[in-house]
Amino acid sequence: METLIQSLVSGVLTGSLYAMIGVGLTVVFGVMRIINMAHGDLVMLGMYGAFWAHVGARVDPFLSIVVWMPLMFLFGMAIHRFLLRKVVLGGELNTLLYTAGLSLFIANLALFVWTGDYRTIKLSYAVMPLRPFDIAVPIPLAISFGLAIVITVALYWLLARTDMGRAIRATSQDAEAAALMGVNVERTATITFGLGTALAGGAGVLLAPSLYLYPTVGEILVAKCFVIVVLGGLGSVPGAIAGGILLGIIESLGAVYVSVAYKDLIGFVIFLLVLLLRPAGLFGVGKS
Amino acid sequence: MTRGLVALAIVALFAVPWLVTNTFFMHLAIMVLMWTALGAAWNLLGGFAGQVSFGHAAFLGVGAYATMIFHLKLGLAPWYGLVLGGVIGALVSLPIGFICFRLRGPYFSLATLAVAEIIRIIAINWETLTDGPVGMLITTLPELRVLGQPVDWESKTPFYVMIATIVVAVIGATWAITRLRFGAYLLAIREDPDSAEAVGIDTVRTNVTALALSAFFTALTGGFYAIYFRYIDPDAVFSIALSVEMVFIAVVGGLATAAGPLIGAVFLVTLAEVFRERFQVWHLIFYGLFMMLTIRYLPEGIWGRIGLLLGRRG
């Protein structure tokens, strides 16, 4: 019983970060129909951001998020404005191939600049886990979990309550109708891509203290990301949150009750089953 | 006229090892041809049927492992294993095709990516069959006599002849497809799957056939990979990066053209091998960059653009 609760808890903690990455990918898909193959590499950039803030400037990695999220937002807007905007017109497959190229470019540039060494962030306050009710909760994961919830709630508020959020949701539902109602679709798309990139980068910052860092980590993350958004239904924000937490739990239960070796396999098998049987996602809210 | 040129090109292709003695250039030529074969095999499905697979490393890996396993565990000479591996690759592709072709466009691409990852994880963990992450190694290739002459496995020539034969076969198959009704079916599916279905083309069956053909040649080349490098491990032959590189060769060269993958491979692989000498990772940075430039400015690829220019003038 204790093992079950323990693995559920760690599943939810990791899942909250998966959710944040997934939300970034899914809002971008909703507005632009882009499946961004480089999303995992944007997470990787956030991870290195936190690492260098910690090593170079002696800033707490979690604190550095206030710098990196706005920077990643601008970076994402620049990518869309200068690189992706024209390519999107060529159709979904072109953007898929283009972002695959972008992914290879970013990952290997990082490999060149930062080398392939595995790095870790050592925090003085993270040596011993918290032990509420005899359940081990690693401190960095607990902090990440809290921050991920704050950021996700802020995003919800932005999407639900602000004019920008309404424009994003309207474009996501029907770009032409939104344009007819006076929404500047191009600008909305640029801002949405910025938002998706900021979420990816932010999640990277939060993940950095709990994972090994290496330049090609994005390859694994992006694969997980696809699983998450397809579970929840492509284009759906609540779906991505549920999908992220679900994948976190599946992986952690799988590692305990099936085998560590095959835990990643379970995610992919469920991914295929959902794609085939429920292409709109487990909750039937996605767009196909 | 064209027939004469093609015959001349094939003669020139097989004459290379008797003209070039430098081992680096021979290695370069072998790499170019290997990637040509992979790009052309991918192109059968990705170019003609427009089904972008991000999981072709699965077939390369299956071919490579089949060759290794038949040789190391059953004692079968690797050149028979190579052909058997191709057949196994095609067989493996059938269930994958029937599952993944129920999806379209980017969803198909994501599904193939997932399938390749599943196969990679199985290859890592099924240690009794694959020896797991340690990989498999052929220390010495068995003796072989061709026309009474023993083959010298230390030279590059036999490998060159092997891969050149595969390239001629796969490009020949591509060329044949452009002429057959089957090729027209594939193009119809690429342009509009619903209309293709409406005029009576069985889209799933046509796509599955194209995938099986593509998987056969990819697995065949995978077998060659195993014999040439004599060492494979799951992360080397099943990696996502490998799948993506195959896509790039075909796209940069020109989708749905017979000669495109050769042009793409000559261009990208030469660049890669030259840069690899001095900088480890630069070639992949350039791969990414060229992919982006190609999609943005040259979506029909290098060979496709040449074809267009010639067509306009003539």
d(CA B76, CA B68): 9
Q: Given A35, A219, A264, which is nearest B121 (Cβ)?
A: A264
Q: How confident is the model at residue B313 (pLDDT cuts 50, 70, 90)?
A: very low
Helix (H) or strand (E) holding B150: strand B149-150
Q: How confident is the model at residue B312 (pLDDT cuts 50, 70, 90)?
A: low
Q: How far apart are the CA of A81 and the nearest CA of chain B, in angstroms?
A: 14
> Residue holding tokens 């798309």?
A189
Please, are residues A104 and B247 in contact by the beta-carbon 8 Å criterion?
A: no
**Under an 8 A CB cutoff, do B125 and A262 touch?**
yes
The angle at the Cα of B216, spanning A97 to B10, to the nearest 5 degrees, equals 90
How do residues A94-133 score in pLDDT, each as one tens digit?
888 889 889 989 988 888 888 778 888 877 776 677 777 7
Q: Given A106, A111, A276, which is nearest B99 (Cβ)?
A: A276
Question: B87 CB contacts (<8 Å, ≥6 apart)?
Answer: B216, B219
Q: What ipTM was estimated for this complex?
A: 0.80
Residues in chain A with CB shorter than 8 Å from the CB of B103 are 275-276, 279
Question: Residues B168-174: contacts with CB within 8 Å, 24+ apart?
Answer: B168/B10, B168/B13, B169/B217, B170/B37, B170/B40, B170/B41, B170/B44, B170/B217, B171/B36, B171/B40, B171/B258, B171/B259, B171/B261, B171/B262, B173/B44, B173/B213, B173/B217, B174/B40, B174/B43, B174/B44, B174/B258
A interface test, pick of B110, B240, B290 with most A CB neighbours within 10 Å: B110
The reported pLDDT for the residue numbered A163 is: 84
Is 0.90 surpassed by the pTM of this model? Answer: no
Three-state DSSP class for residue A287: coil
How do residues B93-107 score in pLDDT, each as one tens digit?
999 988 888 887 778
Question: B104 CB contacts (<8 Å, ≥6 apart)?
Answer: B193
The reported pLDDT for the residue numbered B278 is: 64
Q: Which stretches of chain B sit within 8 Å of chain A by CB? A: 50, 52, 54, 99, 102-103, 105-107, 109-111, 113-115, 117-118, 121-122, 124-125, 240-241, 244, 247-248, 251, 279-282, 284-285, 287-292, 295-296, 299
Nearest to B138 by CA among B153, B151, B125, B126: B153
Tokens describing residue B261: 């993958």
d(CA A200, CA A198): 5
The phi, psi pair for B45, rounded to 5°, reads: -95, -50
Residue of B nearest to A233 (CA): B107
d(CA B43, CA A118): 36
Calculate what percentage of chain B has a pLDDT beyond 70: 96
Q: What is the dihedral of CA B269, B275, B281, B287, to 10 degrees?
A: -40
Distances (CA, A) of A196 to A16, A151, A242: 16, 12, 17
The phi, psi pair for A131, rounded to 5°, reads: -130, 65
Nearest to A208 by CA among A72, A47, A71: A47
The reported pLDDT for the residue numbered A198 is: 93
Please, are residues A90 and B297 in contact by the beta-carbon 8 Å criterion?
A: no
d(CA B190, CA B155): 43
The reported pLDDT for the residue numbered B164 is: 92
d(CA A213, CA A229): 24
- Specify the CATH number for A2-121+130-277; select among 3.40.50, 3.30.450, 1.25.40, 1.10.3470: 1.10.3470
Per-position pLDDT tens, chain A of length 288: 778 888 888 889 889 989 999 998 988 888 887 888 899 999 999 999 888 888 888 888 888 888 899 999 999 999 988 888 888 877 777 888 889 889 989 988 888 888 778 888 877 776 677 777 777 778 888 888 889 889 988 988 888 888 888 888 888 777 778 888 877 888 888 888 999 999 999 999 998 888 888 888 888 888 888 888 888 887 788 888 989 999 999 888 888 887 777 777 888 888 888 887 877 777 666 554
Q: Given A35, A105, A262, which is nearest B106 (Cβ)?
A: A35
Beta bridge partners of A119: A213
Three-state DSSP class for residue A215: coil
Q: How far apart are the CA of B298 and the nearest CA of chain A, in angstroms?
A: 11
Residues in chain B with CB shorter than 8 Å from the CB of A272 are 99, 111, 114-115, 118
Question: A180 CB contacts (<8 Å, ≥6 apart)?
Answer: none
